[in-house]
């Protein structure tokens, strides 16, 4: 079954034909070649695929593409401004050593973004809870949390 | 204090910008035009005969381009003992065994095709416990070896035995002796980016492989051997590495899926990609090796260690990869952690029908250190010596030659122990048994490469362009640890330029020089020493070009004046992208100008140099002795825990990790290595376990395989001890693995201090704690 879907992708109005069983992750990675959003498990367990839909962090691997109608999606590619300048969260990740292999990073950054958009000055506990679903095997999370703290201070 | 420009600075990782913006391409992101998708059918039995495979339905499926079984392929053998083949025929020995494979135009069709393949098996009795597998009459996992000689027993014919001094005599002369048996189970790497490979042939049968491997140059060789077996002798292999989504050892070998992708690509004349799903990553990649550890140590009345006697049984699983060689590294802590004059170690690796193991961060060291450090606490208690004290009494020292003939150059172990004790507030906190406790454990690891192959070398090529930008081509592989950054830092330091001027190229065997791979925490030590060697040569060339260089410059008032650099290159300095004479530091000429000058003059010159660094360390001899590494890394971890006697839950209140790193070239990345390794090590101690039931992986997902999350955050406090190693690059030693080595025993010891039970079976789950508490109570009331 094919559907015509119209939604906003990283600020751009977008119309695309999709199949009923597509996930948002499939739509992003395979249809739009926006490979910044990663697949770590495909089952909603690791957070590598985190993107923001209407202001909320979601696991793109579980999110049915058909549900996107009329909604607004922000992916890691949409975070950097037109001039290529990094978002303050991205900057903080770079400067705090929050990135090692980097596979978890886009998802982690998007979870942080959703948090900071909602909560200007989150406590450490709130930061930890916001990224509890984003697994990282390299960093032990400490520098990631520091980075998110710094980004929240800069606001 | 020496003043450095780049070394010692908290410089962000070179590729961090690409990674935070989603630009970095990983294996899963790569597509090659015309690419097919490969998929593997794994065995349905842990041990069985393959009677018949029917692929006809799969072959007829539209979109399927090739189907392969063990019948269709040439004799390619791989693995440490060459006991493995890409597709099995005749018999399967584990659930990981590859039985058939498909290439199709999309992943869904490949999957559908796999489901259409019919395999008839005859189940054979399996062995899943290494001790049972050793018994006479146990079913044989392999009946013949790679050469076709018949095999009588499941015990691998590997002579893992190390003896120094006289253990039996030392034993009878000891005042105290502690004996323990401990068990460590399977844990796995859980790289966030799963394993993947794309294989592609050109018209001349040259092979290009995209792979997230940790050993591009050794893999190149393995693949070339496979090409020869395919009748393509002389075909070239090129390996390109995309960004690697984590590497903790699982990518240190070549695997069935690699050869399958190559075979499918050759058969279809199309690029073929095989990308593991998360489930496959869990059950079909190689975990850390489980170990049954029997250990006895003795000491004198005043706490001096007299001997260490260790025997181990290691569940090798169905095939031999590097897991089978971990005893060679276990020997290191067994012989050389603390001063112990008499050593005996014997290890037996046993084939079973379980998954087969591989190198994983620490390469056997975490298992061995778990045994040593838990048993040492036990011994200290018997001898009435404080755990900190017994470690200080027996601490390694610079200048020591250990029983395995390791030459200790720099050694900060004593300082690590003292600092951890101090930071933990040991004295008042230890020995209270009130539900809170402190514990510690130390480590030794190779810190200056490790000569496990004939070579421990790494090559570097540096070329400098017209503007003073520097391209560094290194054999080293960045798996996220930051070799791209520390290499840039040391080169910038030597050349007197900025880190931003350095571009590190490290991902293509066609342009980069050779290296043995990213293992043994060797990259900072070996690759940086190699890069420094090349940078020094480049610097010499630049200074020669600069010597006597004449330039007309404008002064402030608009007049012109001629300036000239010193004629003697040894009097020249490059700093902040400028060249000047020592005697006249105010007269500077931009580096770029000198470089351009050399390109535009007659009989010009290009600035370029190569260097191959192979450390002066030794292969272990027949007795497994020799100075394996140029230097050794030390560390001590201390932990304070709170144990809930009702629920058995362990809470980590404080975690102190002191590491002798020689020198911190980049403290920020270094701390990242420690944080990450401790987190993995705590998982090893408390939560992680690949659960196998008769060889079948029961938890191939993140829900049931528990890696730590931000919710479980471990409050790690790193303590960096700098001992400035004489052979290290700017004094540095390796640190990638050490952080996860002493973690589990430090926790075991802290739990004992809190509640008086020693849990010797990893992971330390609440159930095990409750059971141990119950047993203890039972004993008391009896
Ligand atoms: S890929 Fe979506 S949660 Fe893991
Ligand atoms: S940086 Fe490697 S998984 Fe997070």
Q: Report the pLDDT value the prediction gives residue B747, as an integer from 0 to 100.
A: 98
Structural contact between residues B464 and B595, judged by C-beta atoms closer than 8 angstroms: yes
From B589, B613, B637, the end of a domain falls on B613
**B61 CB-near residues (< 8 Å, 6+ apart):** B104, B109, B112, B113, B116
- CA-nearest residue to A143 within chain B is B672
Each as own residue / partner, the long-range contacts of residues B221-230 (CB below 8 Å, 24 or more positions apart, any chain) are: B222/B78, B222/B254, B222/B258, B223/B254, B223/B258, B223/B262, B225/B76, B226/B76, B226/B78, B226/B259, B226/B262, B227/B262, B229/B74, B229/B75, B229/B76, B230/B74, B230/B76, B230/B262, B230/B263, B230/B266
The CATH number given to whatever domain includes residue B220 is: 3.90.1170.50
**Nearest atom, ligand 1, residue A59 CA:** 2
| Shared-domain flag, residues B246 and B301 | no
**If you average pLDDT over every residue of chain B, what do you get?**
96
Would you state the pLDDT for residue B782? 60
> Residue B680 and residue A139: Cβ atoms within 8 Å?
no
Evaluate whether residue A145 is within a structural domain: yes
Question: Is B156 inside a domain boundary?
Answer: no
Are the CB atoms for B185 and B762 separated by under 8 Å? Answer: yes
Find all residues with CB under 8 Å of A124, minimum gap 6, and list them. A145, A149
pLDDT at B556: 78
Beta-carbon contacts of A54 under 8 Å, excluding residues fewer than 6 positions away, are A71, A72
Strand partners, B239: B209
Whether B607 and B630 share a structural domain:
no
Q: pLDDT digits over B521-557, tens only?
A: 999 999 999 999 999 999 999 999 999 999 888 877 8
The reply to whether residue B15 touches residue A137, judged by beta carbons under 8 angstroms, is: no
B207 and B92 in a common domain:
yes
Q: How many CB atoms lie within 10 A of CB B71?
A: 12
- Asked whether residue A115 is domain-assigned, the answer is yes
Q: pLDDT, tens digit, for every residue of B100-120?
A: 999 999 999 999 999 999 999
Do B231 and B323 fall into the same domain? Answer: no
Q: Do B12 and A97 touch (CB under 8 A)?
A: yes
Phi-psi region of B364 (alpha: psi -120 to 50; beta: other; left: phi over 0): left
Q: Which atom of ligand 1 is nearest to the CA of A39?
A: 1
How many CB pairs (< 8 A) connect A and B? Answer: 172
Q: For a pocket test of ligand 2, which of B28, B192, B676 has the largest count of ligand atoms closer than 8 A to its C-beta?
A: B192
- CB of A101 closer than 6 angstroms to any ligand 2 atom: yes
Cα(B33) to centroid(ligand 1), Å: 26
Assess if residue A109 is contained within a domain: yes
Per the CB < 8 Å rule, is A102 touching B480?
yes
Range of the domain at A71: 2-78
pLDDT tens column, A12-48: 999 999 999 999 999 999 999 999 999 999 999 999 9
B339 and B464 both lie in a single domain: no
B193 C-alpha to ligand 2 centroid (Å): 9
* Residue B603, pLDDT score: 85
Has residue B663 got a pLDDT over 60?
yes
Q: What is the CATH number of the domain that holds A71?
A: 3.10.20.30
Total domains in chain B come to 3
Determine whether the interchain pair A41/B480 forms a contact, defined as Cβ–Cβ distance below 8 Å: no
Tens digit of each residue's pLDDT (9 = 90 or more) over B194-248: 999 999 999 999 999 999 999 999 999 999 999 999 999 999 999 999 999 999 9
A109 contacts B246? CB cut-off 8 A: no
First to last CA, chain A: 45
Give domain status of residue B6, yes or no: no
Residue A146, domain member (yes or no):
yes
Identify which ligand lies nearest to the alpha carbon of B676.
Answer: 2
A140, B679: Cβ pair inside 8 Å?
Answer: yes
Cβ distance of A143 and B675 shorter than 8 Å? yes
Give the mutation target among A103, A107, A111, A141 for probing the ligand 2 site: most ligand atoms within 8 A of CB: A103
For residue B558, the model assigns a pLDDT of 80
- Answer positive or negative: Cα dihedral of B673, B677, B678, B679: positive
Tell me if A58 sits within 8 A of A114, measured CB to CB. Answer: no
User: What's A149's domain CATH number?
Assistant: 1.10.150.120
Question: Is B663 within the bounds of a domain?
Answer: yes
The finding on whether A40 has its CB within 6 A of some atom of ligand 1 is: yes
Q: Are residues A70 and A131 in the same domain?
A: no
Residue B562: pLDDT above 90? no
Minimum-distance CB partner of B710 among A38, A86, A132? A132
* Domain endpoint, select from A46, A78, A110: A78
> Which residues between 44 and 73 in chain A have a beta carbon less than 8 angstroms from any beta carbon of chain B?
45-46, 48
At B80 the pLDDT is 94
CA distance A46 to chain B (A): 7
Q: Average pLDDT in the A62-89 region? A: 95
Answer yes or no: do A58 and A14 share one domain: yes
Q: CA of B676 to nearest chain A CA: how many angstroms apart?
A: 4
Residue where a domain terminates, one of A51, A78, A105? A78
- CB atoms A135 and B702 under 8 Å: yes
- pLDDT at residue B779, as a whole number: 80
Nearest residue of A to residue B190, measured between CA atoms: A137
Q: Which residues of B537-569 are buried (b: 16+ CB within 10 A; e: fewer)?
A: bbbebbbebbbebebeeeeeeeeeeebebbeeb
Work out the average pLDDT over B458-483.
Answer: 96
B192 within ligand 2 shell (Cβ under 6 A): yes
Q: Determine contact: A146 vs chain B, CB below 8 A.
A: no
Helix (H) or strand (E) holding B653: strand B650-660
Asked if residues B251 and B192 have their Cβ atoms less than 8 Å apart, the reply is no
Beta strand segments in chain A, E: 2-9, 12-19, 50-53, 56-59, 72-74
The answer to whether residue B1 scores a pLDDT higher than 60 is: no
The answer to whether residue B722 is domain-embedded is yes
Say yes or no to pLDDT of B60 above 90: yes
- B687 with B743, same domain: the answer is yes
Same domain flag for B345 and B204? no
Query: Which among B275, B300, B334 is the end of a domain?
Result: B275
Residues A10 and A66 placed together within one structural domain of the fold: yes
User: Which CATH number is B355's domain given?
Assistant: 3.30.365.10
Q: Report B:13-72 residues touching A (Cβ under 8 A).
A: 13, 15-26, 28-29
State pLDDT tens for residues A82-117. 788 999 999 999 999 999 999 999 999 999 999 999
Q: In terms of domains, do B426 and B471 share one?
A: no
Question: Could you report the per-residue pLDDT of B445-457, keeping only the tens digit for each?
Answer: 999 999 999 999 9
A70 shares its domain with A110: no
B78 DSSP assignment: B
Nearest ligand to the C-alpha atom of residue B190: 2
Distance from CA of A43 to the nearest CA of B (A): 9
User: Residue A66 falls within a domain, yes or no?
Assistant: yes
ipTM of the prediction greater than 0.90, yes or no: yes
Q: Is residue A11 part of a domain?
A: yes
Give the global pTM: 0.97
Claim to verify: residue A73 and residue A8 sit in the same structural domain: yes
Strand locations in A12-120 (E): 12-19, 50-53, 56-59, 72-74
Is the CB of residue A39 below 6 angstroms from any atom belonging to ligand 1?
yes
Ligand nearest to the CA of B191: 2
**B733 & B777 share domain:** yes
Distance A49 CA to ligand 1 centre (A): 5
Q: Which residues of A touch B25 (CB under 8 A)?
A: 35
Is the domain of A37 the same as that of A70?
Answer: yes
- CA–centroid distance, A27 to ligand 1, in Å, is 14
Is there a domain that residue B7 lies in? no
Tell whether B555 and B634 lie within a shared domain. Answer: no
Same structural domain, A51 and A107: no
% residues pLDDT > 70 (chain A): 99
- Assigned domain for A71 exists: yes
How far apart (Å, rounded) are the C-alpha atoms in residues A131 and A108? 7
Q: How many CA atoms lie within 13 A of B136 on its CB side?
A: 0
Residues B361 and B340 in one domain: yes
Q: Is B248 on the interface with A (CB under 8 A)?
A: yes
Ligand nearest to the CA of A46: 1
For residue A133, the CA-to-ligand 1 centroid distance in Å is: 9
Regarding whether A66 and A8 lie in a shared domain, the answer is: yes
Q: What is the pLDDT of residue B560?
A: 86
Whether A8 and A69 map to the same domain: the answer is yes
Give the 3-state secondary structure of residue B89.
coil
- Give the structural domain span for B555: 16-22+457-613
A83 found inside a domain = no
Number of domains in chain A: 2
| Separation of CA A49 and ligand 2 centre (Å) | 13
State which of A52, A78, A104 marks the end of a domain: A78
Domain C-terminal end among B275, B309, B331 = B275
Are residues A72 and A95 located together in one domain of the fold?
A: no
Residues B233 and B96 in one domain: yes
């Amino acid at each position: 079954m094919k559907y015509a879907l119209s939604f906003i992708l990283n600020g751009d109005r977008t119309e695309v034909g999709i199949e009923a069983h597509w996930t948002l992750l499939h739509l992003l990675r395979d249809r739009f070649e926006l490979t910044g959003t990663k697949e770590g498990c495909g089952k909603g367990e690791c957070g590598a695929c985190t993107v923001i839909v209407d202001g909320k962090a979601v696991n793109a691997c579980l999110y049915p593409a058909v549900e996107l109608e009329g909604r607004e999606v922000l992916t890691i590619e949409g975070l950097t401004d037109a001039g290529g300048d990094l978002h303050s969260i991205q900057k903080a990740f770079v400067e705090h050593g929050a990135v090692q292999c980097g596979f978890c990073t886009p998802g982690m950054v998007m979870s942080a973004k959703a948090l900071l958009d909602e909560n200007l000055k989150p406590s450490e506990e709130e930061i930890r809870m916001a990224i509890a679903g984003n697994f990282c095997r390299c960093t032990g999370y400490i520098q990631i949390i520091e980075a998110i703290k710094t980004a929240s201070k800069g606001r | 204090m020496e003043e450095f420009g780049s070394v010692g600075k908290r410089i962000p990782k070179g590729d961090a910008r690409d990674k935070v913006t989603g630009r970095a391409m990983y294996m899963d992101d790569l597509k090659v035009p015309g690419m097919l998708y490969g998929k593997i059918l794994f065995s349905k039995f842990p041990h069985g005969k393959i009677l018949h495979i029917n692929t006809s339905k799969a072959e007829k499926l539209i979109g399927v381009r090739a189907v392969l079984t063990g019948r269709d392929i040439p004799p390619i053998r791989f693995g440490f003992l060459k006991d493995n083949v890409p597709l099995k025929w005749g018999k399967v020995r584990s659930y990981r065994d590859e039985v058939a494979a498909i290439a199709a135009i999309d992943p869904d069709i490949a999957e559908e095709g796999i489901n259409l393949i019919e395999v008839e098996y005859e189940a054979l009795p399996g062995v899943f416990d290494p001790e049972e597998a050793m018994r006479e009459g146990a079913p044989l996992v392999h009946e013949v070896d790679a050469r076709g000689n018949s095999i009588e027993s499941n015990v691998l014919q590997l002579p893992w035995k190390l003896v120094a001094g006289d253990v039996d005599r030392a034993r009878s002369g000891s005042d105290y002796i502690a004996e323990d048996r401990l068990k460590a189970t399977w844990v796995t790497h859980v790289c966030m980016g799963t394993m993947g490979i794309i294989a592609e042939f050109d018209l001349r049968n040259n092979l290009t492989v995209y792979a997230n491997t940790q050993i591009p140059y050794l893999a190149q060789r393995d693949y070339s051997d496979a090409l020869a077996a395919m009748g393509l002798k002389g075909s070239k292999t090129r390996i390109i590495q995309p960004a690697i989504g984590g590497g903790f050892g699982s990518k240190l070998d070549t695997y069935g899926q690699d050869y399958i992708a190559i075979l499918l690509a050759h058969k279809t004349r199309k690029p073929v990609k095989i990308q593991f799903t998360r489930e496959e990553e869990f059950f079909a990649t190689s975990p850390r090796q489980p170990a049954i550890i029997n250990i006895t140590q003795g000491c004198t009345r005043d706490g001096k260690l007299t001997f260490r006697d260790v025997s181990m049984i290691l569940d090798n699983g169905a095939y031999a990869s590097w897991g089978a060689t971990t005893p060679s590294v276990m020997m290191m802590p067994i012989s050389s952690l603390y001063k112990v004059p008499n050593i005996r170690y014997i290890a037996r690796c046993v084939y079973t029908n379980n998954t087969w193991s591989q190198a994983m961060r620490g390469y056997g060291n975490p298992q061995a250190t778990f045994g040593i450090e838990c048993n040492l606490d036990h011994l200290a208690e018997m001898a009435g010596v404080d755990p900190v004290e017994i470690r200080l009494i027996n601490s390694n020292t610079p200048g020591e030659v250990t029983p395995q003939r390791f030459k200790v150059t720099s050694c900060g172990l004593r300082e690590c122990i003292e600092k951890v004790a101090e930071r933990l507030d040991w004295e008042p906190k230890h020995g209270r048994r009130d539900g809170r406790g402190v514990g510690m454990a130390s480590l030794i690891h190779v810190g200056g490469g490790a000569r496990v192959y004939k070579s421990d070398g790494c090559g570097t090529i540096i070329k400098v362009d017209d503007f003073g930008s520097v391209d560094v081509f290194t054999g080293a592989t960045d798996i996220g640890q930051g070799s791209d950054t520390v290499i840039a830092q040391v080169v910038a330091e030597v050349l007197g330029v900025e880190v931003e001027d350095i571009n590190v190229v490290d991902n293509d065997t066609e342009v980069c020089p050779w290296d043995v791979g990213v293992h043994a925490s060797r990259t900072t030590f070996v690759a940086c020493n190699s890069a420094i060697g090349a940078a020094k040569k480049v610097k010499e060339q630049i200074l020669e070009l600069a010597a006597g260089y004449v330039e007309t410059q404008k002064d402030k008032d608009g007049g012109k004046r001629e300036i000239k650099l010193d004629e003697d290159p040894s009097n020249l300095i490059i700093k902040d992208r400028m060249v000047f004479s020592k005697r006249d530091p105010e007269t500077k000429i931009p580096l770029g100008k000198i470089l351009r000058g050399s390109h535009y003059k007659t009989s010009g010159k290009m600035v370029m140099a190569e260097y191959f660094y192979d450390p002066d360390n030794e292969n272990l001899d027949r007795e497994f002795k020799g100075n394996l590494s140029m230097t050794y890394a030390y560390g001590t971890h201390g932990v304070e825990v709170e144990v809930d006697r009702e629920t058995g839950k362990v809470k980590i209140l404080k975690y102190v990790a002191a590491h002798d790193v020689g020198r911190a070239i980049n403290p920020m990345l270094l701390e990242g290595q420690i944080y990450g390794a401790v987190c993995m090590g705590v998982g090893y101690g408390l939560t992680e376990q690949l659960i196998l039931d008769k060889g079948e992986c029961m938890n191939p997902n993140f829900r049931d395989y528990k890696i730590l999350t931000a919710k479980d955050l471990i409050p790690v406090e790193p303590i960096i001890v700098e001992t400035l190693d004489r052979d290290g690059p700017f004094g540095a030693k390796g640190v990638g693995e050490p952080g996860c080595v002493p973690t589990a025993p430090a926790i075991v010891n802290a739990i004992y201090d809190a509640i008086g039970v020693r849990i010797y079976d990893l992971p330390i789950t609440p159930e095990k704690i409750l059971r141990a508490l119950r047993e203890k109570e039972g004993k008391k009331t009896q």
